[in-house]
Chain A
Amino acid sequence: EPEVTQTPSHQVTQMGQEVILRCVPISNHLYFYWYRQILGQKVEFLVSFYNNEISEKSEIFDDQFSVERPDGSNFTLKIRSTKLEDSAMYFCASSEVRASYEQYFGPGTRLTVT
């Protein structure tokens, strides 16, 4: 069964460093998403992406965040200058059609900022 994959599973970085989280969505899906989950808190929407541009973004997704689909298979989330409060689990998801339909999540990347 096709699935969303994410790398790395765990990333440790120092405050102020840039990180790139990578995702490979399900191959025939057209919409891509990033979510984050701070330990013990709700899963929060960050951004959705379609046709090589951002469709929607939340208040969390400020100028330090960016997303890119650098090729036909990868979808990345970049955090330019990490802060301690960026420590969280980051989930990528994809859907065949837009948000009102099934979204399939990857296993997540645990980001630890020290």
Chain B
Amino acid sequence: GENVEQHPSTLSVQEGDSAVIKCTYSDSASNYFPWYKQELGKGPQLIIDIRSNVGEKKDQRIAVTLNKTAKHFSLHITETQPEDSAVYFCAALGAGNQFYFGTGTSLTVIP
């Protein structure tokens, strides 16, 4: 089945700097890649997604890039703010229409 790896597990950045989180996947048939943000005590919240027919997608300060050949995709957050501090999960839609999640990245934005 699909295997999703996510790095780094923790990330600290200064407010205003950029943050990048990377994921790799194993199943070349995967075609949908969402990113979720999870704040303490809350469920994962979808923040951006990308489909395999697109290389990049942007939504204000958040962007996701996808390299199908290399089977990796990345989340980019620019001009980080303290409220961006959370755990971020990547996921890939694999065989059987199941989501396979990464292990999560705990992002801390230091004011």
Give the nearest-CB partner of A41 in chain B: B103
Q: A44 CA to B94 CA in the complex, in Å?
A: 12
Is there an interface contact between B99 and A99, defined as CB atoms closer than 8 Å? yes
Interface residues on chain B, number (Cβ under 8 Å): 25
**A7 within 8 A of partner (CB):** no
Is there an interface contact between B93 and A99, defined as CB atoms closer than 8 Å? yes
Q: A40 CA to B102 CA in the complex, in Å?
A: 12
A43 touches which one: B32, B45, B51, B101 (CB < 8 A)?
Answer: B101
Residues of B within 8 A of A4 (CB): 43
Residues of A within 8 A of B31 (CB): 100
Q: Contact mask B36-61 → A, CB, 8 Å, 1/0? A: 10000111111001010000000000
Is there an interface contact between B46 and A56, defined as CB atoms closer than 8 Å? no
Residues of B within 8 A of A43 (CB): 44, 89, 91, 99, 101
A56-B98, A91-B43 in contact; A100/B34 too (CB < 8 A)? no
Q: Would you list which residues of chain A between 28 and 67 have a CB under 8 Å from chain B?
A: 35, 41-45, 48, 55-56, 58
**B100 within 8 A of partner (CB):** yes
A44 touches which one: B43, B97, B101 (CB < 8 A)?
Answer: B101
Is there an interface contact between A42 and B97, defined as CB atoms closer than 8 Å? no
Most chain-A CB neighbours within 10 Å: which of B41, B98, B100? B98
Interface residues on chain A, number (Cβ under 8 Å): 24
Residues of B within 8 A of A45 (CB): 98-100
Q: A101 CA to B93 CA in the complex, in Å?
A: 10
Q: Could you tell me which B residues sit within 8 Å of A by CB distance?
A: 4, 31-32, 34, 36, 41-46, 49, 51, 89, 91, 93, 96-104
Known: A35-B99, A99-B93, A102-B49. 15 other contacts (CB 8 A): A4-B43, A42-B103, A43-B44, A43-B89, A44-B101, A45-B98, A45-B100, A55-B97, A99-B97, A99-B98, A100-B32, A100-B97, A102-B34, A104-B46, A107-B43
10 residue pairs from A and B, CB less than 8 Å apart = A43-B99, A43-B101, A56-B96, A98-B97, A99-B99, A100-B31, A102-B46, A103-B34, A107-B43, A108-B43
